[in-house]
Structure 1
Amino acid sequence: MTMSSVEDSTQAPFVAPEIVTVGELLRRDLHIPDYQRPYKWTVRNVAQLIDDVDTFRTYGQYRLGTLILHRDARGNLNIVDGQQRFTTFCLIALYLAKHTSADVPDTSAAALPDVGLEISKANVQDNYTYVSESFGSRRGDLSHWAEFFLDSCEVVVLTVNHIDEAFQMFDSQNTRGRALYPTDLLKAFHIREMSLEHASPQLRLAMVRLWEEIPPESIHQLFSDYLYKIKRWANGQDVPQQGFSSEHVELFKGIKEADPSNEKNRWARPFLYAKNYTDDYTQENSTLIRYGALSGVEYPFQIDHPVLNGETFFLMVRHYYDLGLRCGLFQDDAGAIFDVLPELKPVLDLLDAHRRMPTHQLVRNLFDCLVLYYVDRFGEQSLDRAALMMARYAMAPRVQSKQVRRAMVNNYALGRSSARPPSTNLFQELRLATRPQEILRRVLASPELNGYPELHCLFTTEEGARR
């Protein structure tokens, strides 16, 4: 279940696609590698698959999708794409083997990836229970159903010999039809970078585990709603109407540590020096850090800095997710936000009551981006004052217009708004500021207040006016 970093370059990069039945697929010795996400298909996904098979039985044949396999240096066939479907095939076959006379392959030894094992086990149990209940009422027809599923349902199998081609094919497969979040493509890219850098399987597994500990929706939100927008606005660039998509993942691919051109790329050196220092410090003081006698040193992430590929990318995602929790950017399923920095609470308590209003969401996101960028740059220095000032800045479009649109917020953030008072690009000012005072000394004129009395205190209180 590992990706080999040494492969035979004389092999053809891929084997011609083949069409195999589900039964033939299940008889192959396939592995789910450690870099794969947990088994996350739910009862709804399984029900849809079974319903589709039922529907196409009248046609005599059904194509169930594509699997991408990678043959590593030891000859193992690892599933690069399609593991959710394959695991579900195994669950169905497991039930059919016990309750029909059909020639069903033995899938009882199929292994789940170690990453997110508890999540995988819970979904396996729920889905197998559904399979049992769904098939329990059709015993007379079950053997015929099993024969159609195993012998007439097919998948397209693409087998590649080099991991680089495997991930390129994975990226291509998943940029069509929006099958995955763009962030899943980033995950695949940076795992591949770790393989090319000869990172150990244990380190790759640790980074994937770090990623999988964060809800995928929150990772997507972190990039699409915050990191991407901050990078664009801080550089004076528009955020397109469609937002963050697979077209923009290149923004989060950056410095390759083993790139020979780094010696000549002087701009990259400070970031490589910082990575080298933090790695050396951690290695030399690992025992003291482990027993709490010495604090660890984290890589000095900054949103507007280039990304280091591989391990540092995954550490960056965890860093900004944790920072986002402290800034109140993420909510649980019940809509509650997590514990936030106390300096932010007075302003957040005022704004959060209206968080779900459609016209409020856009300007609230502008405020959240500013807060994350400020804390990223200056930490908690004068954060209470900064939060109030940034709330006044971000909410001004809303109190002046009830028709707040994405284009309006984009132009306002870039300093291109014709509103009164005129806007400024506060993101660019933050990028260039070296002290909090350079931001805090800005005087924001109060706009004309048209309704929204719940926000008037931002602009009319003595504290708000003074700052």
Structure 2
Amino acid sequence: MIKIDVESQKQVNVDEELFLEVGTLSTSDFFETDVSVKLPDYQRPYVWNEEKLKQLLKDVKDHFFYDGDYNENAQHYYLGCVLLYKKNEIEFEIIDGQQRITSLLILDYVCNETQSYLAQDKWNLEYSSMLSTTVIKHNLKYLTENVSSGIKNHLKNIFSKLVFTVIKTNSEDEAFTFFDSQNSRGVSLSAVDFLKSYHLRELKGNEDLQRRFAKQWDSNNKGQFLSELFDFILWRSRSWKGQNLSFENKDAILKDFQKKTIKELNNDLIRLYPNVCNTLANQLMYDSKLGVCLQPSVLNLQTTASQYPFSIRQPIQKGIGFFLYTEKYFAVYNQLFNDKKFKSFIEVYNKLITQNSYYLKIFFKLASVVYYDKFKDQKLQEFALWMDYLLGSYRIYQRTIVTQTVIKILRDKSQNLLDVIEMSYRPDDVFDFIRLITDKSHYNVDLASDPDYGVRNNYKNANLSFYQKEENSELITKEKWVYEYIEKK
């Protein structure tokens, strides 16, 4: 049993193999520590923006100053928890608190320059992400221009009254248990932040793999893109089955990609399931130097991310399996919507789909990834045209497209379109179903009452231009236009 003595800030009655220490430290005492504090490679980048720094400066000013003068009698100000994992006797890793610690170190450097903790080499955090470096430089400039003379002159006293609750443990699992439940004053953690940390923990003991997957994850997550990938593509593709549909949320995403992931006896070997990318192997091995190798008996085949032999609805293995699965669908998404090889598909998207509602555009991307996962690039442009035929019928028929429109498309038909794609043997089976569920009468709507710049008229004009039809042509014959266009190609 572990007891915690908060007042004395010392561990009490601690098990020989596991300790948990909790105490309160001022920022000054924390930065004066004589142990080495580092950032693990799998930490997310430093991302505090100007809004966060502005709030920090405002909090300090409001709490420690009165009518512009420093208040000697100001009480201590609480900054939340810092979670530290003890790797060995002199080395700790920051599990949570990086955003605040980094910001305070920058503030100290701006105010104290050669006498700062950084200048004295008392703190030397290394940031593996280029994003962190960019943000640090930006925030250094911002604070240099915005820190008041009052804060500069009294920062030493302020730091003595800015306090953290510091939690230390030599159990990485214990540290992350706190981390998962902690809601600190820093940037609110998204589902993908939790997923990254959770699956990197499965690789503990192999720092090369942790570093490799953390670096690739941060590169793929520029602009928080992975949140969009998991929210709108991966979670929906796996969860929107049958007619019982709902929208994603943080808990649902964590349940599917964290709690539901599986652990094999040997996590270095990833179990495979038959799909269009894999008719040969039943497992793969990841090597940090060679990359992905398929291993059917004695045959080794190296492959690129978009060709990794996963299917979008398959079970996901913890650790390496999760990261490779994410890398595949990041690559597939970018290939579909950015690769010149798919020029004709992208042309349909740019000229027709982008003229549609935001919700229908997102649904088009989802369906396209699921289709590509099943059939690769077989009749890919034709799929785009028939999807536009279906989605366009809703754009023309309804003045307003809402979030529930996509749910209705899947739920209120004889079958769920995503299920049909998954179960079909040929692309033509998918196209037949799309034509079956498209109500062509929706295109027989008089748009004369809509303003010339209305979204429905904009979409109609985009169709007339794409299919090279006369201005007075009616969309009720659009199915015929699609057939004619495909025949020409």
Q: TM-score, normalised by structure 2?
A: 0.75
Structure 1 position 68 matched with structure 2 position 83: yes
Give the strand-richer structure, 1 or 2. 2
Total equivalences in the alignment: 419
Residue 397 of structure 1, CA deviation: 2.4
- Per the TM alignment, residue 426 of structure 1 is displaced from its structure 2 partner at its CA by 0.9
Aligned equivalent of 2:211 = 205
- Cα distance in 1, alignment partners of residues 39 and 177 from structure 2: 18
Q: Kindly indicate whether residue 326 of structure 2 is the aligned counterpart of residue 309 of structure 1.
A: no
Given the superposition, is the C-alpha separation of residues 278 and 60 from structure 1 closer, same or farther in structure 2, using an over 3 Å criterion? closer
1:405 to 402, 410, 414: 402
Give, in whole Å, the separation in 2 of the partners of 1:186 and 1:73: 26
Residue of structure 2 in register with 1:290 after alignment: none
Q: Which of 122, 135, 139 is 2:134 aligned to?
A: 122
What residue number does 2:168 align with?
159
CA distance in 1, matches of 2:252, 2:417: 26
Q: Match of 2:173, SS?
A: helix
CA distance in 2: counterparts of 1:378 and 1:175, whole angstroms: 45
Shift of 1:104: 6.5
State the alpha-carbon separation in 1 of the partners of residues 76 and 322 from structure 2. Answer: 44
Is contact 1:236-1:428 (8 Å) kept?
no
Secondary structure of 2:179's partner? helix
Give the secondary structure class of the aligned counterpart of 1:464: helix
C-alpha distance in 2 between matches for 1:176 and 1:432: 47
In the alignment, the residues of structure 2 paired with residue 257 and residue 344 of structure 1 have an alpha-carbon distance, to the nearest angstrom, of 39
Matched-pair contact (CA < 8 Å) for 1:275–1:299:
no
Partner of residue 432, structure 1: 423
Q: Secondary structure at the match of 2:321?
A: helix
- Structure-1 separation of matches of 2:174 and 2:282: 28
Residue equivalent to 1:363 = 360
CA distance in 2, matches of 1:122, 1:284: 29
Could you tell me which runs of 5 or more consecutive residues in structure 2 were left unpaired when the two chains were aligned: 1-13, 66-73, 294-300, 448-455, 464-474
SS in 1 for 2:45: coil
- In 2, are the aligned partners of 1:301 and 1:316 still within 8 Å (CA)? yes
CA RMSD of the aligned region, Å? 3.6
For the residues of structure 1 that align with 2:302 and 2:156, how far apart are their CA atoms?
61
Matches within 5 A, 1:248-267: 248-253=253-258, 254-258=261-265
Secondary structure at 1:78 match in 2: strand
Matching residue within 308, 311, 330 for 1:299: 308
SS at match of 1:448: helix
CA distance in 1 between partners of 2:407 and 2:184 (Å)? 26
Residue 317 of structure 2 aligns to a residue whose secondary structure is coil
* Residues 377-386 or 245-254, more deviating: 245-254
C-alpha distance in structure 1 between counterparts of 2:379 and 2:145, whole Å: 59
Q: Secondary structure of 1:341's match? A: helix
**Alpha-carbon deviations, 1:330-373, whole Å to 9, x = none?**
xxxxxxx7857213133212235435xxxx11122221111111
Write the distance in 1 (CA, Å) between the matches of 2:30 and 2:242: 50
Residues 373, 44 of structure 1: CA spacing in aligned structure 2 closer, same or farther, 3 A cutoff? Answer: same
Change (3 A) 1:213 1:75: same
1:85 corresponds in structure 2 to 100
1:54 lines up with 2:55 in the alignment: no
| 8 A contact 2:272–2:283 mirrored in 1 | no
Q: How many Å separate the matches in 1 of 2:195 and 2:219?
A: 16
- What does 1:50-449 align with in structure 2 at a 5 Å threshold? 50-58=57-65, 59-73=74-88, 75-98=90-113, 108-116=121-129, 118-135=130-147, 138=149, 142-143=152-153, 145-174=154-183, 179-195=188-204, 198=205, 200-214=206-220, 215-234=222-241, 236-240=243-247, 243-253=248-258, 254-258=261-265, 270=273, 274=281, 276-279=283-286, 283=290, 296=303, 298-328=307-337, 341-354=342-355, 360-414=357-411, 416=412, 424-442=415-433, 443-444=435-436, 445=438, 446-449=440-443
User: CA, structure 1 residues 120+109, in 2 after alignment: closer, same or farther (shift >3 Å)?
Assistant: farther
CA-to-aligned-CA distance 1:349-402 (integer Å, 9 cap, x gap) = 2235435xxxx1112222111111101211110111111112222333222222
SS of the residue corresponding to residue 442 of structure 2 reads coil
Greater RCO, 1 or 2 (C-alpha within 8 Å, sep 6+): 1
Residues 206 and 284 of structure 1: CA distance in aligned 2, closer, same or farther (over 3 Å): closer
Q: Distance in 2 between matches of 1:380 and 1:352?
A: 19
Amino acid at match of 1:212: D
CA distance in 2, matches of 1:160, 1:302: 39
Q: Percent identity?
A: 22
Specify the SS of the correspondent of 1:39.
coil
Distance 2:198 2:476 in 1: 46
* Matched residue type, 2:239: R
Code of the residue aligned with 2:191 in structure 1: it is P
- In the alignment, the residues of structure 2 paired with residue 49 and residue 95 of structure 1 have an alpha-carbon distance, to the nearest angstrom, of 15
Per the normalisation by structure 1, the TM-score is 0.79
